[in-house]
Structures are given as C-alpha cells and as structure tokens.
Structure 1
C-alpha cells in the first residue's frame, strides 16, 4: 500500500445513485437452511421464492388478527 495517494483528478460522486436499492443478505442457521433447502428442492423452486412466500403469508396472517 502506498503511503500517499493522489485524488486530485478524482470525480466525487461518480458511483452514487440516489435511487439505488440494496438487498441485504439474510443468514440462516444451518438447521433452518437445511430444512428450507429440502422443501425448496422438493417443490423445484428457489429458496428465496419459498422464504418470501412464507414471509408474505405470515404478514397477511398478522395483519388479519390485528
């Protein structure tokens, strides 16, 4: 690593996008991951799709009892 860097020609905000959306990774415990992966494989769908379906169903259920 250099002791000093020259940023005099740098362009500020070059990679800034105000409308950018970020997807945060969710880390599952090994037993949960194994369970969800097995069900997703049996249904022949992606784990992400399965988990989103489950979460949406839980959201609907919670909203229905509030």
Structure 2
C-alpha cells in the first residue's frame, strides 16, 4: 500500500445501487463438498444447480 492516497476526485456513492441483491457465500465442509460434487457430476448438472435444488426441496418439505 502507498503511504497516502488522493481521493479529491472521488465521487461518493458512484457504485451504490439501491436495488442491488447480495449473494451470500456458503462454505461447505470438504467431505460434503466432495460428495455433492460427485453427485452433480454423475447427474451432469452444475454444483450450484444441484445444491439449490436440494435446498429448495428441503425448504418446501419444512413449510
């Protein structure tokens, strides 16, 4: 890092988006990740699609 930075030309809120949605990262234990990765590969689907569908099913059952 530099000792000092010049922010005199900075614009406050330049990147602010009122309707922005943040996607929270989910950290899986290594053994769970390995199992899900194998299952996704066997089904020929991306890992995130598999995880989302499994969670959706679980949430529906609990409602």
Report TM bin, short chain: 0.7 to 0.9
User: For each residue in 1:14-54, what CA deviation from the matched residue of structure 2 results, as whole angstroms up to 9, or x when unmatched?
Assistant: 11111111111111101000100000000000111111111
| Aligned counterpart, 1:23 | 23
Q: Secondary structure at the match of 2:52?
A: helix
Name the TM-score, length of structure 2 as normaliser.
Answer: 0.87
Displacement of 1:10 in angstroms is 1.6
Larger radius of gyration: 1
Give the aligned length. Answer: 63
Q: Which blocks of at least 5 consecutive residues in structure 2 are unaligned? A: none
RMSD (Å), alpha carbons: 1.2
Q: Which blocks of at least 5 consecutive residues in structure 1 are unaligned? A: none
